[in-house]
Chain A
Amino acid sequence: MDLPQGTLDLLILKVVALGPVHGYAIAQRLQQVSRDVVQVPQGSLYPALHRLENRGLLAADWKETETGREAKFYRLTRKGRAQLDTETESWRQLAEAVQLILKMSEGGAE
């Protein structure tokens, strides 16, 4: 299933909010958590990460992984957390609204 426009950023922010994580792990996590429903096009993952970093929503440090290799770990900045909160809220509202509309259509058919 393709991601709706703009949701990739939200999902990335959500995943990174759980703790510092590198790009590959973000891709893995997204796929696992969504039970393979959401196929993140990995090609657009990295540009998205760089864009979020550039906007100051994410910060990055080079750290060692548990396997002892150096990787770029992303973490949420304060600005990023605020952005995540507002986007989550608006997403929730949108989802509710869509739900309502869908229900109403069912009711209208009765």
Chain B
Amino acid sequence: MTWWNRLLRQKRMEEQLEKELRFHLEQHTADLIALGHDPAEARRQARLGLGGPEQVKEECRDARGTRWLEDLWQDVRYVLRTLRQRPGFALVALATLGLGIGATTVMFTVINGVVLKPLPYPEPDRLVKLQEKTDWSTQFGNLWGFTYPNFLDCKSGTRSLDLAAWHYGGGTVSGSASAEYVNSREVSADLFSLLGVTPIRGRAFRSDEDRLGAPPVAIISYGLWQRRYGGDAAVIGMPLVFEEKPYTIVGVTPEAFRIGDEVDLFTLLGQDVSPRMQNRAVHGIQVWARLRPGATLAQAQAELTLVGRHLADEYPKSNKGRTFIAEPLSPEVGDVRSTLWLLLGAVSLVLLIACVNVASLLLARAVSRERELAMRVALGAGQGRLVRQCLTESAVLGLSGGVLGILLAAAGVRPFVRFWPGSLPRVEEVHLDWRVLLFALAASLASGLLFGLAPALRSTTRELEQTLRAGARTLAGSSRRMHAGFVISEIALAVVLLVSAGMLGRMLLRLSSLNPGLNIQNVLTARTALSPATLTNPSQIRAAWDDILNRARSVPGVQSIATVDTVPLREGNNQIGYRITPDPQPENQQPLVLASSVSPDYLQVMGIPLRQGRFFDQQDRMGNEPVVVIDDVMAQEAFHGQEPIGKHLWIGLGTDPLRVVGVVGHVRYWGPAGDDQARVRAQLYYPFAQVPDELLRRWSELMSIAVRTSSEPLSTIEPLRRAVRGATGDQVLYEVQTMDHLASAALARQRFLLLLFGIFAGLALVLACIGIYGVLAYLTNQRVPEIGVRIALGATARDVMGLVMRQSVGMIFVGVGVGIAGAWAAGRVLMRLVEGMQSSEPLSFAVMIPVLVIAALFASFVPARRASRVDPVKALRQE
């Protein structure tokens, strides 16, 4: 019979045991009678011979080996029974735990999806990312994107890797429906097969298409397919016009397919006609690879190093000191990672407080059950058995809380994700899976162990005889100390959360009050794509921009308009090195400046104050003297207080001097949180009209317009779109945003953290107060007889209240002390992880700690008052 059989047939086994022992007794009795004993005497002797039947049975049960399971089942039933008897306790404990575990599980679910899960491709651990590495560094480090020729050489020079490449892109899709700007990627033909992604319609690219002169083909995303073609199955083979060039659609990617971001259009890298494709000095190609079966990363690295050495010999001009490195391909999630871990940390503190609360409830119960437990020991229960029972109780509570938590997390993950400021990377990967369930299970068992351990250990240390002899209401010192420990740790944890929330709040207040350096009211910005047809000719490009500005000026509500390539607070910037002498200087030793090319009205549109000199005008164009305007930060950095107007400076390796004609106010380009600590703060403006012809196309592709409106800027978007569309109808605005929105998005992460920390801190405060109240009420209740005696001996209500309050003040004092140390450490963590947190904000200690102390005193006031009203006669009679 197997052990589960035994367990299932427990009842029958019990019956058989009973029957076997009865048979023994009766047979023995019969034999004794046959020997001439008196029947009553025979029965007595037989029974004596066997020993106590219950003890024998107990030993037989032990011998079966399924004892622990039977006990466990018994304990579980016992726990459920006692919980049903006290539904209030069960409800509070379960709700607390469920919330704590639920919130923790939500955070973990997000972390799991965004940070921990591998890339959603087959065998993701075989994927690697390749980069170029130089043995010298620029201001931007020593890692580079690939050049296309280097990629091709690495591809043919390695046996352990399959290589694929892609390049960022974007442009206007025109043709049948209205023109639209899309995010695109140029890819090598084998990128899809390398990743293991198969198009859901049509086919992937073929390698014979990945070359100049091959028929132009494109693959579109599921999103573009739905949006532009209404999910029509006949889309394969349809024509598509992208940047004025006709393509044939050959495939549609799966809905969830992404390369970093959502991408709408894929074309072939090998069909790109631009000269940079042949240039060994133009970097920016991304290279991903898959290790061939049996190959290791080390082998791949060795091969790449070899290729690097050959290329350095062959092309010293571009490749000297340059090699290639491979590292495992991992998802790019940016600073979301630290936000998530921070939140998981905070929510774990809340869970910890919840655990401490349940622990103190359980301990109070264990103490009040002490006599029962002692009685059971006296009746023969083993100490280990009692510990097991206590732990079963907490495990049952913990697991039920865990189940509740998982349900809450299942319901709460989506709303939480929607609530996330901006877009959460890899959000499509966030859902409950076995890892999350495992985490929730571990969290609930760990919590169960945590809050069950104290009462359980206590049940073994009590001295049996003393407990039995003591009155029901005698309080043991160790329980008091343990309870005080609980209160202290709860207060300390609550202080950490409250002060952290306070720090974030103070920081946000400080950041919001900072001057952004520009007037964000009523400004609209939008990236602008010129008609692809105009992009081939520099003079046409210049004319097209003038045309756009003129058309936009005529839109009602538009006060002023300017073009600008890099918009403050928005993603993207242009950092260049400069020098204030004509002498050549290595680029990596030059100080950096944020450069923006703008049209003359930019200052007016953005509301940036002019400090000195002038801004640009229509005379600052090609052929006239090149001029720049700098901000006051750069004026200080470059000229150290000397008069900057009229000075010259040089950009990068250029030899033409640029004359400084004006100084404007500093704009917090990196947002209020990041600007003060940013590495590059100096700003420089140059006229878009003076951008040389050969750069004009590239610059145009990056250009945005900024518009100051007289009324609500959002209402001018549509008229503006129509006005800008142009004669050919394919000039489009995209990424339309107000500066107001950009400014608020710049602080969204901080605001989100503050909100969640605020919620967690509030929860912690409430839980801590409930904990303090519960513990003090319990402790005072235990002291009722003592208090009765005190009152009988003449203590006043004030004295008694003082007695209780002193106890609580002591605990609060120690808790706050420990909490301050913890909060200081938390402040260090916040300073490292949260942009804009510059000090641990001492004021937040001064504000938040009194909040906690007052709440805690209030929570202890109620039990204290009750104690002061104890009726001495009743109290003494109780004893």
By a beta-carbon cutoff of 8 Å, the part of chain A in contact with chain B is 22-24, 27-28, 41-44, 46-48, 50-51, 54, 62, 69-72
Q: A24 and B60: CB pair below 8 A?
A: no
Question: Which of B24, B51, B65 touches A24 (beta carbons < 8 Å)?
Answer: B24
A–B pairs, 28, beta carbons within 8 Å: A22-B23, A23-B20, A24-B24, A24-B27, A24-B28, A27-B24, A28-B31, A41-B51, A42-B49, A42-B50, A43-B51, A43-B59, A44-B59, A46-B24, A46-B56, A46-B60, A47-B59, A47-B60, A47-B62, A50-B60, A51-B63, A54-B63, A54-B64, A54-B65, A69-B23, A72-B19, A72-B20, A72-B23
Residues of B within 8 A of A46 (CB): 20-21, 24, 56, 59-60
Chain A contact residues, majority secondary structure: helix
**Is there contact, CB below 8 Å, between B23 and A43?**
no
In the complex, chain A residues whose CB is within 8 Å of the CB of B56: 43, 46-47
By the criterion CB–CB under 8 Å, are B55 and A50 in contact? no
Q: Which residues of B contact A23 (CB under 8 A)?
A: 20, 23-24
CA distance A42 to B20 in the complex (A): 13
Known: A23-B24, A43-B55, A50-B64. 12 other contacts (CB 8 A): A23-B23, A24-B24, A24-B28, A42-B51, A43-B59, A46-B20, A46-B60, A47-B60, A50-B63, A54-B64, A54-B65, A72-B16
B14 CB to nearest chain A CB (Å): 12
Number of interface residues of B (CB under 8 A): 21
Within 8 A of A (CB), among B38-64: 49-52, 55-56, 59-60, 62-64
Query: In the assembly, what is the distance between CA of A70 and CA of B60, in Å?
Result: 20
Residues of B within 8 Å of A62, CB to CB, are: 16
- Taking CB atoms and an 8 Å cut-off, the chain B residues in 60-77 that contact chain A are 60, 62-65
Contacts of B65 in A (CB 8 A): 54
Given contacts A24-B27, A41-B51, contact A47 B20 (CB under 8 A): no
Shortest Cβ distance from B28 into A: residue: A24
B18 CB to closest chain A CB, in angstroms? 11
Minimum CB distance partner of B27 in chain A: A24
With both beta carbons as reference points, the residue of chain A lying nearest to B53 in the complex is identified as A43
Interface centre among B16, B24, B60 (most CB of A within 10 A): B24
A70 to B23, CA, bound (A): 8
4 smallest CB-CB distances across A and B, nearest first, come from A43-B51, A47-B59, A51-B63, A50-B63
Which partner residue on chain A sits nearest B65 by CB separation?
A54
A69: nearest chain-B partner, CB-CB: B23
A residues in contact with B59, CB < 8 Å? 43-44, 46-47
* Bound CA–CA A22/B59 (angstroms): 19
| Chain A neighbourhood of B50, CB < 8 A | 42-43
Question: When chains A and B are docked, how far (Å) is the Cα of A48 from the Cα of B59?
Answer: 9
How distant is the Cα of A19 from the Cα of B673 in the complex, in angstroms? 90
CB contacts (< 8 Å) of B55 on chain A: these are 43
Interface string of B1-41 (1 = CB under 8 A from A): 00000000000000010011101100110010000000000
A41 to B50, CA, bound (A): 7
Find chain B residues with CB under 8 A from A41 CB.
51
Measured CA separation A50–B52 after assembly (Å)? 17
**Closest Cβ–Cβ distance, residue B67 to chain A (whole Å):** 11
CB distance from A45 to the nearest CB of B (A): 9
Q: How far is the CB of A32 from the nearest CB of chain B, in Å? A: 12
Q: What A residues does B16 contact at CB under 8 A? A: 62, 72
Task: Report the minimal beta-carbon distance from B66 to chain A, rounded to whole angstroms.
Answer: 9
Chain A, residue nearest B6 (CB): A54
| Structural contact, A24 and B62, CB atoms closer than 8 A | no
Q: Which residue of B lies closest to A28 (CB)?
A: B31
Residue of B at shortest CB range from A55?
A: B65
**Which residues does chain A contribute within 8 Å of B31, judged by CB atoms?**
28
Which residue of chain B is the closest to A39 with respect to CB atoms? B49
A79 to B529, CA, bound (A): 87
Nearest-neighbour CB distance to chain A for B450, whole angstroms, equals 36
* A50 contact set on B, CB distance < 8 A: 60, 63-64
A16 to B21, CA, bound (A): 18
Chain B nearest Cβ from A65, distance in angstroms? 8
Residues on B with beta carbons closer than 8 Å to the beta carbon of A71:
20, 23
CA distance A36 to B55 in the complex (A): 25
